[in-house]
Structure 1
Amino acid sequence: MQTLKNLNTSQLTKSKKALIRADLDVPFPSNGEILEPYRLAALLPTLQFLLEKKIHPVICGHIGRPQGKEDPKLSTNNLKPFFDSQIGANNYSLLENLRFDAREDTDSPDLAEEFAKELISTTQAEVFINESFATCHRSATSITQFPKMLPSFAGLRLAQEVETLSSALTNSENPKIAIVGGVKSSKKEAVYALAEKFDTVLVVGKLAKTPQDPENPKVLYPVDYSGEGLDIGAKTAEIYAKTLFTARTVVWAGPAGAYDQGYFEGSRQIAKAILSSKAFSIIGGGDTIFCLNQLKMLEDFDFVSTGGGAMLDFLAGKKLPGLVALSYYE
């Protein structure tokens, strides 16, 4: 039976401080202004839930990849104006970027345990809440160690993510179509794993077909590109739109083009095709969220997952370390 511990328990209500692993990895320009606060806003219901129970939330997480070195541009101090405006400056504590300490991503069990114990001792937290679905596919110290040391629960948003994605696999209507984009070749594994569970997988972004890729009629790759390969082409968009029109369930992770360089058209056409269909639509991942928000189409989708890679791994049937730590698979 796959279940997550509910926040509303007696152990939680007796606590005074809760350590929350949050998804703080939001984009910043050079002036420090938050470009896309969606992931931070997704945390607010859990924070408000705790405050109503007079439990002080201690928020922790990472921004970017500082590789164990301090970087003011990646400091969580940049997030304080957001949280101050939403829940009040004196109603929470915010730890510094966990990745400023190399032990957050260490392969050493001893160093990971040491770091987790230090954080618990410093914060005096009595319970742990995982509210970072986007990081659940990683074995970070803050994801896997805290549940070994404290009573642990899934945050309200994380529980909703798991419930919605599980339903997309087991209770949704066919045809089911997955769209996978990005630049990392590691996503190829997810593409072919998803082909075992979905009727069709549409590949976008820089994930071009190579001679080493297996032949699978369920997996469609772009037939043309625009912008010197920085976006899918018009023919691909047309083929994909016809496929998507028949869908009843769509899951999408990864923009179709290099939106950060101004290539939005492929993503726009895919979004229009999904929204013109009768499909229940799920999109996920920071890049996809940012891209669709720029297109002013984000709110038109039925569900927005904060995780991209985590969402794909979950749907592909992989056991996520963050959910293993919460005893989800037991």
Structure 2
Amino acid sequence: MAWKTLDQMDLDGKRVLTRVDINVPVEDGRVTDATRIERIAPTVADILAAGGKPVLLAHFGRPKGKRVDEMSLQPLIPALEKALDAKVVFAADCIGPAAKAAVDALQPGEVLLLENTRFHAGEEKNDAELAAGMAELGDVYCNDAFSAAHRAHASTEALARLLPSCAGRLMQAELSALEKALGDPERPVLAVVGGAKVSTKLELLSNLVEKVDMLVIGGGMANTFLAAQGLDVGKSLCEHEMTGTAKEIAEKAAAGGCEILLPRDVVVAREFKAGAENEVVKAEDCPADAMILDAGPDSVAHVGQALERAKTLIWNGPLGAFEIAPFDAATNAAAGHAAKLSREGKLVSVAGGGDTVAALNKAGAAEDFTYISTAGGAFLEWMEGKTLPGVAALG
């Protein structure tokens, strides 16, 4: 483990610049979903318990280097105080005299929230001067924003190189879970990758077929792979121009000993709406006037057998059009099976990505997964085998 944790840092009396992701939805000046705020609470609590002074750095929205009043972090204070169970003081900038005065006035047990880092154009440019201005406000740097770790910004990358640095509790949990899933996993490893388009997950698929033992492909992506095998997929969502690429990925998998599982049977319908009339047919028997909207029961059983063999599961994307019934059946069944095995201690299951979290929550399976990552882009880039600047800078 190249990165340090809070446990390895001397925080007593230290100003701890803590990069967090509290980019939460706000309506009429009130936070409507405080999940991201709640997830930073353990880090802040541990800094306070060690005698440190937490100074929070965060972005909010896309102000593009200008001060935009609607994108101020100040309205988040009530939600922060509730989640952190501490007094939260606000500074109207993240560098300069106002920020320095607020840091100097910070009392033990209090938390300081600095204004939106993206009000400065240098933030997204990873500007060294801006990072130096932030560094003057702290003694230690703690990054607890894995969801922003794929971006080389001043508050995530340059700043980490200017102060003694460590990972916060959320970052630590995320990195530990990901290391367990792909870095040094217990085998066999099964990956479930779904979603609409092969083109958006090319790098992901290419990396996974070299790392995992079994790969389930679902959603619209599966249609492209079925078409690559010469099957007629009717009016289904399908990237026919990507069939050559799908063949190459399948060949790469075969050469590396990775078994690809595609739907054996499919649920087809003539219209895409809740409760639409539908039927189950073999994958090779999709009617010309129908579209594939989910994997069938035989496919689900096949995925279930793979789950039973697996020791580690990485899940990204649904198996069908999970947003509407009855085309959520395959995703719900497979997710339920994975949750049961995880609950019984037979499977280490890690999932991430926006649609994935929504699908697993809808299936009632999320709570039993070993780890659910809320970091969309960072989770995907890590799965693609890319180096994340915000993590590399902690090393």
Task: Please give the TM-score of this superposition, normalised by the length of structure 1.
Answer: 0.80
Of the three residues 77, 81, 105, the one matched with 1:80 is: 77
Of the three residues 252, 270, 286, the one matched with 2:315 is: 252
- Greater CA drift, 146-155 or 82-91: 82-91
Of the three residues 176, 179, 191, the one matched with 1:178 is: 191
Taking structure 1 as reference, are residues 134 and 237 closer, same or farther at Cα in structure 2, changes over 3 Å only?
farther
Task: Please give the TM-score of this superposition, normalised by the length of structure 2.
Answer: 0.68
Taking structure 1 as reference, are residues 10 and 100 closer, same or farther at Cα in structure 2, changes over 3 Å only?
closer
The aligned residue for residue 53 of structure 1 is 50
Contact 2:29/2:75 (8 A) holds in 1: no
Deviations along 1:234-271, whole A, 9 cap, x unmatched? 35545434433432211113345666788755542331
Contact 2:336/2:363 (8 A) holds in 1: no
Tell me which amino acid in the other structure corresponds to 1:117. Answer: A
Residue 155 of structure 1 deviates from its aligned partner by 1.2
The aligned residue for residue 113 of structure 1 is 128
- Greater CA drift, 232-241 or 88-97: 232-241
Match status 1:7 vs 2:6: yes
Contact 2:21/2:145 (8 A) holds in 1: yes
Match status 1:285 vs 2:349: no
Measured in 2, the distance between the counterparts of 1:234 and 1:51 equals 52
The aligned residue for residue 98 of structure 1 is 117
Of the three residues 158, 165, 177, the one matched with 1:145 is: 158
Taking structure 1 as reference, are residues 156 and 202 closer, same or farther at Cα in structure 2, changes over 3 Å only?
same
Tell me which amino acid in the other structure corresponds to 1:48. Answer: A
Q: Which ranges of structure 2 fall in alignment gaps of 5 or more residues? A: 89-109, 225-241, 273-290
Other structure's SS at 2:151 match: coil
The aligned residue for residue 379 of structure 2 is 311
- Greater CA drift, 193-202 or 159-168: 159-168
Residue 198 of structure 1 deviates from its aligned partner by 0.7
Measured in 2, the distance between the counterparts of 1:53 and 1:202 equals 45
Tell me which amino acid in the other structure corresponds to 1:175. Answer: P
Taking structure 1 as reference, are residues 175 and 86 closer, same or farther at Cα in structure 2, changes over 3 Å only?
same
Match status 1:194 vs 2:208: yes
Other structure's SS at 2:51 match: coil
Measured in 2, the distance between the counterparts of 1:89 and 1:259 equals 42
Measured in 1, the distance between the counterparts of 2:308 and 2:25 equals 32
- Greater CA drift, 94-103 or 124-133: 94-103
Contact 1:197/1:316 (8 A) holds in 2: no
Match status 1:234 vs 2:296: yes
Of the three residues 125, 136, 150, the one matched with 2:149 is: 136
- Greater CA drift, 304-313 or 231-240: 231-240
Tell me which amino acid in the other structure corresponds to 2:6. Answer: L
Tell me which amino acid in the other structure corresponds to 2:207. Answer: A
Contact 1:245/1:276 (8 A) holds in 2: no
Tell me which amino acid in the other structure corresponds to 1:5. Answer: K
Deviations along 1:105-164, whole A, 9 cap, x unmatched? 22xx6xx1122233344xx22211011122222222221111122121111222232223
Other structure's SS at 1:103 match: coil
Q: Which ranges of structure 1 fall in alignment gaps of 5 or more residues? A: none
Of the three residues 311, 326, 329, the one matched with 2:394 is: 326
Residue 225 of structure 1 deviates from its aligned partner by 6.7
Taking structure 1 as reference, are residues 46 and 247 closer, same or farther at Cα in structure 2, changes over 3 Å only?
same
What number of residue pairs does the alignment pair up?
318
Taking structure 1 as reference, are residues 139 and 93 closer, same or farther at Cα in structure 2, changes over 3 Å only?
same
Residue 325 of structure 1 deviates from its aligned partner by 0.6
Measured in 2, the distance between the counterparts of 1:266 and 1:31 equals 40
Other structure's SS at 1:174 match: coil
Greater relative contact order, per chain length (Cα 8 Å cut-off, separation 6+): 1
